[in-house]
Amino acid sequence: MKVLVPVKRVLDYNVKARVKSDHSGVDLSNVKMSMNPFDEIAVEEAVRLQEAGTATETIVVSVGPAKAQETIRTALAMGMDRGVHVQTDEDLEPLAVAKILKEVAAAEGAELVVMGKQAIDNDYGATGGMLAALLDWPIGSAANSLSLDGGALNVVKEVDGGLQTVKLQMPALVTTDLRLNEPRYASLPNIMKAKRKPIEAKTPADYGVDTAPRLKTLKVTEPAAREAGIKVADAAELVNKLKNEAGVI
Q: Is the pLDDT of residue 226 over 90?
A: no
Percent of the chain's residues with pLDDT above 90: 73
Extents of the domains making up the chain: 2-246
Environment class of 88 (CB within 10 Å of its CB; exposed 0-12, middle 13-18, buried 19+): buried
DSSP 17: P
Mean pLDDT computed over 31-35:
92
Per-residue model confidence (pLDDT) at position 222: 86
Per-residue model confidence (pLDDT) at position 100: 97
Mean pLDDT computed over 166-175:
95
Question: Which of 80-89, 121-130, 215-224 bottoms out in mean pLDDT, i.e. has the lowest?
Answer: 215-224
Q: Could you give the count of Cα atoms lying within 13 Å of 121 in the half-sphere of its Cβ?
A: 21
Q: Is the pLDDT of residue 24 over 90?
A: no
Task: Tell me if the domain spanning 2-246 has CATH number 3.40.47.10.
Answer: no
Per-residue model confidence (pLDDT) at position 18: 86
Percent of the chain's residues with pLDDT above 70: 100
Q: Is the pLDDT of residue 149 over 90?
A: no
Mean pLDDT computed over 188-211:
94
pLDDT band, residue 230 (cuts 50/70/90): confident
pTM: predicted TM-score of the whole model, two decimal places: 0.87
CA distance 54 to 1: 7
Q: Tens digit of pLDDT for each residue in 173-187?
A: 999 999 999 999 999
Quick one: CA torsion of 122, 123, 129, 134, rounded to 10 degrees? 0
